Amino acid sequence: MSAMARGWITAAQLAAFDAAGTDAHRIFSDGDGWVERLAEDALISHKTDGARDAMREALAEWCAVSGWQPRRIFGKLLPRQNEDRDPPVLLTGDAALPLTGEVREDGVRYGLDFAAGYSAGLFLDQRMNRAFIRRAAPKRMLNTFAYTCSFSVVAALAGAETVSADLSRKSLDRGKANFSLNDLDPDAGHKFIADDVLEVLPRLARREKKFDAIVLDPPTFSRGNKGRRWQVEQHLEDLVIATMELAAPRARILVSTNCTKLQFADLERVARFALKFHRRAGDVHREAQPPDFPPGHGARTLWISLRG
């Protein structure tokens, strides 16, 4: 199939996802956008209407070969400015079906809501990092900019107590629902803080809280409490330094960004400066790129592993 040579996953890869209990993954990527499978639905993220139409046509060809057929197809424009982000729109399929549902990743269940905003509820490019957290099995994890708390869910499934902080109470409520989807009691050993992360961190430090896993996946740009301006290129280093105050011995810290101006070398520089600032020894490493995300696609992520 000619489409497969242009970035579509193979039938064998599709079967491997199904065997792993994963029905949320990319099925196509290129410079003009991508296509994701989200349980029974497909989502086309596109930069132009022409790219959307081309991917929609190629999706039909890929489905004929792979045997997978979406019940609905959604489209989402990838705008130049964050303020122009809109929720996905239904392109084909039954408009009477609910816009909420759920997906699975390695058997873990997550809720989706196509009407909730620009993102439906799960960042697929963090799959390998969620798997790393689950393997690491931390005792206490801090999840900052937690969104719908997917990292907290996998940590809790591995036995951790978790603290999830996000400015949006609505997102944290969706996170609690994700706990319940996986038969986890969100009120048993788990805390959800609806507040500006940059104000939460010093409060936790004053209370001498320590965590052996910390997730830092901040937005590229936002405004926090009292109109505080956050710009990841300018403030990431300060964030990592502040977070390291909360790191227990041998803690693991994930540093992640979608900002195209920051590359892996920038993350490593920030990580090593924070280690030097705190006079702590540590190593950095990257988890493998998800097999459905070609190089250059998805977030840039880096793990800091403290030695003491």
Q: What is the pLDDT of residue 5?
A: 53
The closest alpha carbon to 65, from 2, 6, 1, belongs to 1
Domains of the chain: 2-98 (3.30.750), 124-306 (3.40.50.150)
Q: How far apart are CA 68 and CA 52, in angstroms?
A: 19
- What is the pTM assigned to this prediction? 0.95
Contact at 8 Å (CB) between 89 and 76? Answer: yes
Q: What is the pLDDT of residue 80?
A: 78
- Which residues of the chain register pLDDT less than 50? 1-4
Specify the DSSP class assigned to residue 167: S
- Residue in the block written with tokens 């705008």: 79
Q: What is the pLDDT of residue 3?
A: 42
Q: What is the pLDDT of residue 228?
A: 74
Q: How many residues does the chain have?
A: 308
| Alpha helix positions (H), 35-104 | 49-66
* 60, amino acid identity: A
Question: Looking at beta carbons, which pairs linking 259-265 to residues 24 or more positions away fall under 8 Å?
Answer: 259/220, 259/232, 259/233, 261/233, 262/232, 262/233, 262/236, 262/300, 263/300, 264/300, 264/302
